[in-house]
Amino acid sequence: MSEEKKQQVSRRQFLNYTLMGVGGFMAAGLLISPVRMAIDPVLKSTGAGDLANVGLSVDDITSEPQRIDWSIDQVDGWYESQVNRSAWVYRNDSDEIIAFSPICKHLGCVVSWEGSDQYPDEFFCPCHDGRYYKDGVNVPGTPPLAPLDEYEMEIKDGMLFLGDPKPHREA
């Protein structure tokens, strides 16, 4: 093979690699934008972890559990919605503010404070007679197998802010 022939082959390979490289960059550039647009809502923070002002002054929180309701804006991928939330809020014997999720840990019904005349001073779930003590711990021998979840909380300017429900501190 002559030296000139070797050079021609080498040039052809060089051109092939160059064209493939440039084509690859162009294809990647064309793909990045739509892919970024497609997954952008997933990458965005939903704000679900933010704490919301639930409209209750801490001065109005007593030792008697009271139900409060509020709503938050939730972004789930491309879908934005308002989600209603509820909590049972009171002060315990140590004057700590407690906010329980009302969602029963058995099958997800809603519990009420003193929901049964038969069991005063307890949270009661009417679906299967689930019971919880005032501290949120499930009464042994009733269907729920775990204590009520507790909301993460913060107090700002005398108002109660609640975030997401977390497992009970004794769970």
Contact residues: ligand FES, CB under 6 A: 104, 106-109, 125, 127-128, 130, 143-144
Q: Given the complex with ligand FES, which of 27 and 107 has the nearer CB atom?
A: 107
Closer to ligand FES by Cβ: residue 56 or 105: 105
Work out how close the CB of 34 gets to ligand FES at its nearest, in angstroms, rounded to a whole number.
45
Comparing CB distances to ligand FES, the nearer of 106 and 168 is 106
At 54 the three-state DSSP class reads strand
User: In one letter, which amino acid is 71?
Assistant: S
Q: Which of 90, 92, 132 is nearest to 111 (CA)?
A: 132
Residue 73: beta bridge partners? 82
- In 3D, which of 93, 118, 117, 105 has the Cα closest to residue 144? 105
Backbone angles phi, psi at 46, to 5 degrees: -85, -15
Smallest separation, CB 136 to ligand FES (Å): 14
Q: Which residues pair with 83 in a beta bridge?
A: 72
- Name the residue number minimizing CB distance to ligand FES: 130
Nearer to ligand FES (CB atom), residue 108 or residue 158: 108
**Amino acid identity of 49?**
G
Q: Residue written as tokens 């407690």?
A: 98
**Least distance (Å) from ligand FES to the CB of residue 85?**
18
CB of 42 to ligand FES, least distance (A): 32
